[in-house]
Amino acid sequence: MFIRLVYESFRRQTRRKLLVAVAVTLGAAVATAMIAVATDIGDKINRELQSYGANLVVTPQDDTLEVQIGSVNLKPSGGAYLNEADLPKIKGIFWRNNITAFTPELPVNANLGDSNVTLLGTYFSKKLTFGKEDFTTGARGTFPWWKVQGEWPADDSSDVLVGERLAAERNIDPGQNLQLNGKQYRVVGILSTGGIEDHEIVAPLFIAQELLGKPRAVDKIFVSARTKPEDAFARRNPDQMTPADRDRWYCSAYPESIAYQIQEVIPHSHAEQIRQVQQNEGNILSRVEGLMLLITLAALFTSGLAVSAAMATAMFERREEIGLMKALGAGQFMLSAIFISESVLLGCAGGLVGFVAGSLLARKLGAAVFGSAIAVAPVVLPLVLGIAVLVSFIGSAAAIRMGVKYDPVHALRGIV
């Protein structure tokens, strides 16, 4: 009888049920989509933050002091260098999957005609192998704001780029040949970076090594890594931690721990975060994450209230039904049980449909804004179902309580 009552109520009052079901479904959809967005936005924004370029820099441990003003490099030669052969090992550290790209740099002085210019040797998009893994890395990954008018040189060619300011000063055009220290190089493109590279010649790394006379020498490595914002724990010294803390520190994607792991694989190196990029990225990341989290909370709260209100109205509408049941002898417990199971069923159904709709919304949003779908974690399903059932229950509870207390005579006569 109980089941039949509930079943018939759903079968016969489709219109009323539909409205409430729509409200619950929409609420659940928005909750799902917002939870998905709030949990995934950090990852998405972190990816976008890569457009600020490298956030870690690796230098030789006993490097001589850098003496550079603007584009004029007065650093005395004869300092320490890193070994190019060690570079692929960066892809072998614990957080290798968080390393999106790295680029070696080697600035050398070269004679262009009768004056001195800086030639910067680097990778553009070089194929490297570590173990069984092949990957491509270079300036195009770590410095996404570099723009080339013309073509990018191949990493094994003797083609070079000329910074736009230098090119303007010396009237250099793509296609022209340059004589550097007596050797001919072809200019394939004009480079614009908005930084000091605009005054330099940028060439494949081996050219700089040849000019310097030091094969395999690398002065600096810029590393782009996806990190998690640094906190007080991240700043602690790993050598003074308990083994358990140290493991936790080592296995967190802090800039400090990634730098530490790079130092471990590259001999005689010093890895450090580039604070301008790292600190601000962390800051922006936590702001955007916090914003979406708070908006999600507010959205959950408001959609909960709105659904409750819709639920309550739908229940008030059924006073007469309650009155009739009471007049026929239904007890308070029985009545509450019927109406509560109705609303819980509605909550479940709406929550389920809403979850599916919300996942689609999140996917669409991710694809539209970030070009990659936002996946909804399966754990969100029970969460959303729970919220939907709870909200429907709360929304109907007040109305049911009032209906149950109601004198059947009044209800049947239509007096409120």
Partner 1 sequence: MKVRRKGPSMFLRMLWRAAVLRKRTALSALLAITVAAAAATAMLNLFVDVQAKLRKEFRGFGANIVMEAKAGESFSAADLTRIASTVGNRALAVPFGYAVAHTESGESVVVAGTDLDLVRRLNPWWSVSSWPAHTDDALVGVTAAPVVTPNNSRFALSYQGRALQLTPAGTVRTGAGEASRVYISLNDFESWTGLQPSVVEIAAYGSATEVTSLLSTLQRNLPNADVHPVRQVTEGEANILSKTRSTLLWSSVFIISTAALCVLATLTGWLFDRRRDFAIMKAIGASDRTIALFISGEAAVLAFIGGLFGYLAGIGIAAWIGRANFNAAVSPRLDVLPPVLIGSIAVTLLATLLPLRLLRQIQPAMILRGE
Using CB under 8 A, pick the residue from 5, 6, 22, 356 that binds partner 1: 22
Using CB under 8 A, pick the residue from 49, 119, 162, 190 that binds partner 1: 49
Shortest reach from residue 210's CB to partner 1, in Å: 26
Report if residue 104 touches partner 1, rule: CB under 8 A: no
Using CB under 8 A, pick the residue from 166, 292, 404, 411 that binds partner 1: 292
HEC states along 115-181? EEEEEEEECCCEEEEECCEEEEECHHHHCCCCEEEECCCCCCCCEEEEEHHHHHHHCCCCCCEEEEC
> Which residues have a Cβ under 8 Å from the Cβ of 380 and sit 6 or more positions away?
32, 35, 36, 355
Shortest reach from residue 390's CB to partner 1, in Å: 16
Between residues 210 and 320, which has the closer beta carbon with respect to partner 1?
Answer: 320
Report if residue 276 touches partner 1, rule: CB under 8 A: yes
Using CB under 8 A, pick the residue from 92, 133, 247, 294 that binds partner 1: 294
Between residues 71 and 98, which has the closer beta carbon with respect to partner 1?
Answer: 71
Report if residue 356 touches partner 1, rule: CB under 8 A: no
Report if residue 82 touches partner 1, rule: CB under 8 A: no
> Which residues have a Cβ under 8 Å from the Cβ of 295 and sit 6 or more positions away?
34, 38
Q: Which range of residues in 4-12, 67-75, 109-117, 179-187 is near partner 1 by CB under 8 A?
A: 67-75
Number of residues that bind partner 1 (CB under 8 A): 83
Q: Are 128 and 99 in contact (CB under 8 A)?
A: no
Using CB under 8 A, pick the residue from 183, 248, 275, 405 that binds partner 1: 275
Between residues 18 and 154, which has the closer beta carbon with respect to partner 1?
Answer: 18
Q: Is 129 exposed, middle or buried (0-12, 13-18, 19+ CB in 10 A)?
A: exposed
Nearest CA among 232, 366, 354 for reference residue 303: 354
Report if residue 68 touches partner 1, rule: CB under 8 A: yes
Q: Which range of residues in 176-184, 243-251, 270-278, 375-383 is near partner 1 by CB under 8 A?
A: 270-278
The CA distances from residue 130 to 35, 93, 127, in Å, are: 38, 11, 10
Rounded Cα gap, residues 82 and 215, in angstroms: 11
Ramachandran angles phi, psi of 84, nearest 5°: -60, -30
Rounded Cα gap, residues 236 and 233, in angstroms: 6
Residue corresponding to tokens 């109305």: 399
Report if residue 190 touches partner 1, rule: CB under 8 A: no
Rounded Cα gap, residues 373 and 84, in angstroms: 37
Report if residue 416 touches partner 1, rule: CB under 8 A: yes
Rounded Cα gap, residues 297 and 275, in angstroms: 32
Using CB under 8 A, pick the residue from 3, 74, 85, 232 that binds partner 1: 74
Query: In 141-291, at which residue ranges do the beta strands (DSSP E only) sit?
Result: 147-150, 159-163, 177-180, 183-192, 201-204, 217-218, 220-225, 269-273
Between residues 23 and 188, which has the closer beta carbon with respect to partner 1?
Answer: 23
Q: Which range of residues in 141-149, 260-268, 333-341, 382-390 is near partner 1 by CB under 8 A?
A: 141-149
Report if residue 53 touches partner 1, rule: CB under 8 A: yes
Report if residue 266 touches partner 1, rule: CB under 8 A: no
Report if residue 363 touches partner 1, rule: CB under 8 A: no
Report if residue 66 touches partner 1, rule: CB under 8 A: yes
Report if residue 260 touches partner 1, rule: CB under 8 A: no
Rounded Cα gap, residues 402 and 416, in angstroms: 11
Report if residue 302 touches partner 1, rule: CB under 8 A: yes
Between residues 188 and 307, which has the closer beta carbon with respect to partner 1?
Answer: 307
Q: Which range of residues in 104-112, 133-141, 298-306, 325-333 is near partner 1 by CB under 8 A?
A: 298-306
How many residues are recorded in the chain?
Answer: 416
